[in-house]
Amino acid sequence: MAAPDRHRVGPPPPFDHELADPLRSVLRRLPMPLTPELIPSRRALTAAGNLSDADIRRDGSFEIEERPVPGPADGPDLTLLICRPTATPGPHGVIYNTHGGGMVAGSTRTAELAGELDRAEEFQLAVVAVDYRLAPEHPDPAPVEDCYAGLLWVAGHADELGFDPDRIIVSGNSAGGALAAGTALLARDRGGPALLGQMLQCPMLDDRCDAPSIAQLARVGLWDGLSDLAGWTALLGDRRGGPAVSPYAAPARATDLAGLPPAFIDVGSAEALRDEAIAFASRIWQAGGEAELHVWSGAFHSFDEWVPQAVVSRSARAARTAWLRRLLDRHALSTADQR
């Protein structure tokens, strides 16, 4: 697999001084680029870091259940991990999590769920994580249709679950960012649940893999440009990069980004997905929509999970929390005004 060379770019941006050494350590355990042969080991490594029941319950802060629910038409049932806060009565707003893993790995208990639980605990929100089918065994449209089917079930059973259907935020990291954005597009286009917001953390958005940062970081960092190419190929096969790719699979393909819920988008300056995230935010603004964009200087892909104590990692978590606070406060004010 050759590195993308469509763009003439300079050397990669430098890594933040607190991230460079930890990244070298991570890459010794998590070799890049991803190849089809590495998928089984990548799944095993991801599963080894899964959160336990005790990790999720947080000394009784959440009660949890795993519930099978109907999948998409002609698809199997899927499982939702439902985490309800215990300190306050419902109805609770919901963070609907679509996990990362490059389209080929991950589960409802992947370590990134901890960040969602942090935010949920602060604002007394529920977290619902969907166990969507993985590529390449289950190519597009299976993953995004699973995510949308789970969202429909959550919104349709909100009263039973003690949830507020008017306060559902879709949120995902990396491949999960693509699926969260694709789910938001499906909800808009199919007249589905009216989402309060979408949080897209270092999202995979464009199967064409032709942004300058993909070439600039083709073999650099965590989830480099060649890994991105491999992830999209696992999902789309021979369709990758061609004309027959749905915007629900690759949200950068959407020609109309109007009418979407407010978006929070963040990405590192030293990661391959940088430029497509910036372009997606810009196109939301150009369509008259609302997006908040953060490009974290010197940061690699999913940096805050791997080096949580770095200043830039703490800043990123604080920015996500602040955006969510403003979103929820605005909804509360709007609801009060309508009474």
Q: pLDDT, tens digit, for every residue of 6-47? A: 557 899 999 999 999 999 999 999 989 999 999 999 999 999
Task: List % helix, strand, coil for the chain (3-state, nearest 5).
Answer: 40, 15, 40
Banded pLDDT at 2 (limits 50, 70, 90): very low
Give the mean model confidence (pLDDT) for residues 97-102: 98
The pLDDT value recorded for residue 7 is 56
Decide if pLDDT at 257 tops 50: yes
Rounded distance between C-alpha atoms, residue 225 and residue 217, angstroms: 6
Model confidence pLDDT, tens digit, residues 294-322: 999 999 999 999 999 999 999 999 999 99
Q: Are 269 and 16 in contact (CB under 8 A)?
A: no
Query: Which of 273, 178, 266 is closest to 224 using CA atoms?
Result: 273
Residues near 129 by beta carbon (within 8 Å), at least 6 away in sequence: 80, 81, 83, 97, 98, 99, 108, 109, 113, 116
Q: Please give the single-letter amino acid code of residue 255.
A: T
Model confidence pLDDT, tens digit, residues 181-213: 999 999 999 999 999 999 999 999 999 999 999
Decide if pLDDT at 1 tops 50: no
Q: Is 48 helix (H, G, I), strand (E, B) or coil?
A: helix
What's the pTM? 0.96
Rounded distance between C-alpha atoms, residue 253 and residue 211, angstroms: 13
Decide if pLDDT at 158 tops 80: yes
Rounded distance between C-alpha atoms, residue 321 and residue 118, angstroms: 9
C-alpha distances in angstroms, 162 versus 90, 91, 221, 262, 336?
Answer: 5, 5, 42, 24, 20
Sign of the C-alpha dihedral, residues 237, 240, 242, 244?
Answer: positive
Could you tell me the strand order of the sheet in which 197-201 lies? 62-69, 78-85, 126-130, 92-98, 163-173, 197-201, 263-268, 291-296
